[in-house]
């Protein structure tokens, strides 16, 4: 075996700052993982909304109704925010992968 065919240790793959540089493959794999998580979070978000829609609000006092509405809003808002974060991460990683592919094509030409 020649030295070129052996994989480099992790320390040799880092840049001057000690960071591992991004590659298109790693970006697309990360986008795939984040996309899967965003789909799972979207399904969870839909089920949370459907369950909360089926539960009636308390009507005995205005204060308890206001608290129930606030709690429902917080729960739906947090789950929607988590879904949006994974969607944005998916789009960003995919765009970074495309950008790195374009840069590699330009440097080869």
Give me the tens of pLDDT residue by residue for the chain, a chain 109 residues long. 555 566 665 555 777 888 888 899 999 999 999 999 999 999 999 999 999 999 998 888 999 999 999 999 999 999 999 999 999 999 999 999 999 999 999 988 7
Q: What is the largest CA-CA distance in the chain?
A: 80
pTM of this prediction? 0.76
Each residue of 58-93: b (16+ CB within 10 Å) or e?
A: eeeeeeeeeebeeebeeeeeebeebbeebbebbeeb
Residue with tokens 């308390």: 58
Task: Please tell me whether residue 53 adopts helix, strand or coil conformation.
Answer: helix
Q: Which of 42, 43, 48 has its CA nearest to residue 84?
A: 42
């Amino acid at each position: 075996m020649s030295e070129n065919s052996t994989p480099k240790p992790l320390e040799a793959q880092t840049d001057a700052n000690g960071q591992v540089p991004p590659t298109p493959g790693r970006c697309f794999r990360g986008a795939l993982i984040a996309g899967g998580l965003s789909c799972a979070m979207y399904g969870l978000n839909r089920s949370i909304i459907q369950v909360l829609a089926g539960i009636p609000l308390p009507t005995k006092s205005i204060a308890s109704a206001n608290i129930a509405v606030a709690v429902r809003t917080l729960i739906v808002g947090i789950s929607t925010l988590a879904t949006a974060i994974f969607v944005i991460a998916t789009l960003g990683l995919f765009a970074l992968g495309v950008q790195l592919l374009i840069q590699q094509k330009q440097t080869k030409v």
